[in-house]
Amino acid sequence: MAIYGVSNQNGNDGNAGSIGSPKATIQAGIGLLSSAGDVLYIGPGTYREEITTRLTGDVGNPIKIIGDPDALVMTADFPGICRVTNTDANNEEQPASDGTRTHDFQATTNTEIYNLWFDGTGYRDTAPGTYGYLTYCYYNDPKFYNCGFQSAGYSCRGGQYYNCFASGGYITSYHGYWHNSVIAGAAYGLYTDTSHAFAKDCLFIGCYAG
């Protein structure tokens, strides 16, 4: 097990990636995660990037990516939101670079993600008006805790969510397992054409269909 750090405020991707010498981008930090039990702390700040992971932890010993908004671990940083976005410097939405998904977590297993806010777009670059995904996961993995998701298209595809908030312009969640969460402002809050969807103790707000 190893512990790594990323800091938007004080990091550099040329650094080793320790808490005291953090990387600057989340993707660079993810590149350090190689073993079950590894932990990556994300310092407060706005990270304008798209994330791709293929992480594999163990049952009972997951890999963890943990936002640190209070700067309790990344103590050189000022507290604030841990935001991950593909918007530009003016906060204008940009097409996902691969055309279908902004943050790609497929084939990521036994991995947990905490305290991050994801926003931007899932619109396809090649076909304006059709929808891709802000976050793309397989049915059960990874697990998100205390995270937020906001997109004009599809916010989430697959994954498990605990104490999360999600808002989407069209479909907030396509598949996915939701627990103690709020799903708001979508034409469809939780949509599936298979059995891979579940909501327990959740609140749906302003959805045309739950």
* pLDDT tens digits along 48-66: 998 989 999 999 999 999 9
Which residues share a beta bridge with 103? 135
Q: Which of 88, 74, 98 is nearest to 9 (CA)?
A: 74
Provide, rounded to the nearest whole percent, the portion of the chain with pLDDT above 70. 84
Q: Alpha carbon 160 to chain centroid distance?
A: 11
Q: Do 144 and 65 share a structural domain?
A: no
- Answer whether residue 99 is part of any domain: no
- Answer whether residue 195 is part of any domain: yes
- Answer whether residue 96 is part of any domain: no
Which residues share a beta bridge with 114? 66, 145
Which of 14-28, 64-78, 130-144 has the least mean pLDDT? Answer: 130-144
Q: Do 210 and 130 share a structural domain?
A: yes
Q: Residue count of the chain, please give it.
A: 210
Please tell me the distance from the alpha carbon of residue 20 to that of residue 12, in angstroms, as a whole number: 11
205 contacts: CB under 8 Å, gap ≥ 6: 182, 183, 184, 185
- Regarding pTM above 0.75, the answer is yes
Number of domains in the chain: 2
**Looking up tokens 């992971």, which residue turns up?**
53
Which of 95-104, 137-146, 175-184 has the least mean pLDDT? Answer: 95-104
Provide, rounded to the nearest whole percent, the portion of the chain with pLDDT above 90. 49
Q: Do 130 and 81 share a structural domain?
A: no
- Answer whether residue 136 is part of any domain: yes
* pLDDT tens digits along 115-140: 999 988 755 444 545 556 778 777 67
Q: Do 210 and 128 share a structural domain?
A: yes
Q: Do 203 and 124 share a structural domain?
A: yes
- Answer whether residue 17 is part of any domain: yes
Please tell me the distance from the alpha carbon of residue 93 to that of residue 88, in angstroms, as a whole number: 7
Q: Do 75 and 18 share a structural domain?
A: yes
Give the model's confidence band at 156: pLDDT under 50 very low, under 70 low, under 90 confident, else very high.
confident
Final residue belonging to a domain, choices 85, 104, 132: 85
Q: Which domain holds residue 201?
A: 120-210
First to last CA, the chain: 41
Could you write out the three-class secondary structure of the chain? CCEEEECCCCCCCCCCCCCCCCECCHHHHHCCCCCCCCEEEECCEEEECCCECCCECECCECEEEEECCCCCCCCCCCCCCEEEECCCCCCCCCCCCCCCEEEECCCCECEEEECCEEEECCECCCCCCCECEEEECCCCCCEEECCEEEECCEEEECCEEECCEEEECCEEEECEEEECCEEECCCEEEECCCCCEEEECCEEECCCEC
